[in-house]
Amino acid sequence: MIHSVSGRGVLRSALVVMLSGVSLLRADRDLPPLPTAEAVMGNAPDPRPHEPLTIDAAVDRAGAVSPELATARLEVDRLMARLFGIQLNYYPEFQVQLQAPRIFDYDAREEGLDQPKFQYRTTEPGVEASVKQRLPTNTELSASYDHDISRAGLLSDRLSLVFSQEFVRKDPLWLQESLAEKQIWLKKCAQASVGREFDYRVKSTFYSVLEAELIAASAERRFEQDRKFAAESEEKFRSGVIAEYSLLDYQRDLKVSESRLVARKASLDRARSEFASLLQIPYGDPLRLVEPGEPVVDRRLCDPRRMVESGMRHELRISQIRYNMFANAENADYIRNSLLPSVRLEARGDAYRTVGDGVFNSSQPVEGRDLSAALLVTIPLFGSTFEKWNNLRLEEIDRSINENQIDALFRQEVRDVRNTLISLAEIQARYAIARDIEQLAAREFEISRLRFELGSVGSFDMIRTKNEYFNALDELTNLRYALLRRLAEIERDYPLDPPDAGVASLR
């Protein structure tokens, strides 16, 4: 079907396309520039020789350049700045205001006399200075001074002083400051969690690179061995020592070994890329990693009671609930306090003088003072009181919910610690058994190779013993680094250092 388009429609479509192009160009112009391909791929490794890198040095080096850790530190700084902003409410506030023109009207009539009313207006400019001070003791002070610049106005000087002291109710800023301090505590717990997770990623990747190097080296040895067996079997087949099906077994096993070698080298390259990304170094940089010693299980680190206590202190979900419980208690305390009558002492003093030259037919200035002091008692009733009682009930319900969640998380923590220790014991036992299996498989492989050279072993047995040896070697390597990773996980989830150092404990 053919649709006809009017000239106005064509013009509208052209304008839409043109505006879209302009908007895209403007959006692209507002975006930050993209990094170059060389910077992304890192194809220029540092040619200088590197010292062997230990796991602790790798963690320090990656942490120094990590944007995640930098962001976590900045988030804490931001909350500290917010806390300082709340504390600024206790700082004195000075203000100077200039008014021009400033209009004052004054009406006066003398009592008891049938005299006309005096009326006077001045438009002289003036300046006013004031200071306000709020103290953490729920005390408020304010003072102001007003002066006519020309000294020809009606009210040439005015001074006002106000003092107010609340005796019963708490300062509203107290609640904000208290919650802000605990938000910093919570953010520091989150920052520590980010740091531990990042350290674990670096350690895990460090272990992955070393593990992948050993596995790739084992695959290369296996491939070279299989290529040697295939060549020898080719000669034996030509000599009539073995049948063709045996030759095919060795050739097929060689191809499987070649495919395995390709996969293992690719795994090694991926592990090295991940490690280079964490350290922010060029891809392909020839770093030499120091292989750690044999895994040693620290009994203090793996103590069940300590692990449960550490998990309850460091688990971020539990820290969030602990903060919620603290906030519930603080809010409830503040609401209960606000239900009490307000008892406030207020004292006020005002002083002024007038200039009567030609205004009131008097040559002497007229001075005035106004002093007052009172004890103000305010009792909240009805609507606001009902609302506060309802908010208090909500805070108590929320606290009960948080207490139930803490109890459930404690039981989960005990279960997780138990499962972690069971898994650790399993890996330890399998690692010890894998050592024995590797030694037995190595001896059997050595005997099979001697029998192969003598032609007294078949292809099936030769390939089986060879694969069992290299599989046992790979299994031993995998279990060794699995044990190292599990110990690193325990350090991450159940650290030895207390997180509350230098921070006020929660109530």
> Per-residue pLDDT for 111 more than 90?
no
User: What pLDDT is stored for residue 191 in this prediction?
Assistant: 92
- What crossing angle do the helices spanning 172-239 and 55-65 adopt, rounded to 10°? 130
Cβ neighbors of 286 (< 8 A, separation 6 or more) are 45, 50
With tokens 């300082």, the residue in question is 84
Handedness of CA 39, 42, 47, 49 (dihedral sign): positive
The mean pLDDT value for 158-179 works out to 89
User: What pLDDT is stored for residue 149 in this prediction?
Assistant: 75
User: What pLDDT is stored for residue 483 in this prediction?
Assistant: 96
Q: What percent of the chain has pLDDT over 90?
A: 45
312, 413 Cβ separation under 8 angstroms: yes
The tens digit of pLDDT for each residue in 88-106 reads 888 888 999 887 777 766 6
User: What pLDDT is stored for residue 478 in this prediction?
Assistant: 95
CB atoms within 10 A of CB 278: 20
CA-closest candidate to residue 343, choices 173, 175, 170? 170
Q: Which of 141-150, 250-259, 421-430 has the lowest mean pLDDT?
A: 141-150
At 156, is the pLDDT very low, low, confident or very high (cuts 50, 70, 90)? low
User: What pLDDT is stored for residue 386 in this prediction?
Assistant: 87
Give the pTM: 0.76
User: What pLDDT is stored for residue 361 in this prediction?
Assistant: 47
398, 328 Cβ separation under 8 angstroms: yes
The mean pLDDT value for 418-438 works out to 95
The tens digit of pLDDT for each residue in 334-356 reads 999 888 888 888 898 888 766 55
335, 395 Cβ separation under 8 angstroms: yes
104, 121 Cβ separation under 8 angstroms: yes
The mean pLDDT value for 415-423 works out to 96
The mean pLDDT value for 467-492 works out to 95
User: What pLDDT is stored for residue 58 in this prediction?
Assistant: 93
The tens digit of pLDDT for each residue in 301-311 reads 999 999 999 99
User: What pLDDT is stored for residue 371 in this prediction?
Assistant: 83
The mean pLDDT value for 80-91 works out to 88
With tokens 């606001």, the residue in question is 384
User: What pLDDT is stored for residue 410 in this prediction?
Assistant: 94
Tokens encoding 328: 């519930």
The mean pLDDT value for 64-72 works out to 91
Taking all residues of the chain, what is their mean pLDDT, rounded to a whole number? Answer: 82
Higher pLDDT, 79 or 45: 79
The tens digit of pLDDT for each residue in 309-331 reads 999 999 999 999 999 999 999 99
